[in-house]
Amino acid sequence: MEATLVLQFAVTAALLTLVPGADWAYVISTGTRSRSVVPPVLGLASGYVVLVAAVAVGVGALVSSHPDVLTVVTLVGACYITYLGVSTLRNLRGADGTLLLTDEGSPADGNDGLRLYLRGMGVSGINPKAMLMLLVLLPQYLTPDGWSSTAQTGLLGSIFILEVVVIYFGVALFARSLLLGRPRLNTAVTGVSGVLLTGFGIWLLLDVLAF
């Protein structure tokens, strides 16, 4: 592979990762209300590992070329992201209906690290928009000579996943340092994250139901 193409891909992928979306909303909402930012960030990264592997072996292209399969994947992903958004909003209120203004870092619904990890994996791993983005982006930087397309995809995908880990850890830690100790701001930002997750999920539903 050409070093220039690898560098260009790294820059492009980093810029796309820096664009706020469902991933950002999830990592901020969980990073500020859980004891560790590691499980949600690694969950998101693991979801992208699945997508990169699917693209590398041709599963992603197979899914995108079959409208019915892609529709099912989109519906599942949309419902899941909407569920997470609604759950985030519901967890802002305690059993008595009062807002949970706490910076203790313990999740309101008792989620453990494994559950946060699996939820993060679901946010990125069954997001059809992320799959289509990788399907469009990765092939542009593959070269016909030298390494096989699978090896090239694996290398570029690994760079993207590393960037995801670094950037999302940065986002989570920055949000944590900014919001912990400021319970009202913490609750407000978590609420906005819940709205964004819900809105993104509903947008996906409307997008697929429009066809």
Residue with token string 């500020």: 32
2/142 Cα distance (integer angstroms) = 9
pLDDT of res. 97: 40
**In which residue ranges of the chain is pLDDT below 70?**
1, 59-67, 69-70, 73, 91-111, 181, 183, 186, 208, 211
Answer yes or no: pTM beyond 0.75: no
Quote the crossing angle between the two packed helices 22-31 and 38-56, to the nearest 10°. Answer: 150
CA angle, residues 193, 106, 37, in degrees to nearest 5: 60
Rg (CA), the chain: 18
pLDDT of res. 82: 83
pLDDT of res. 159: 93
pLDDT of res. 21: 79
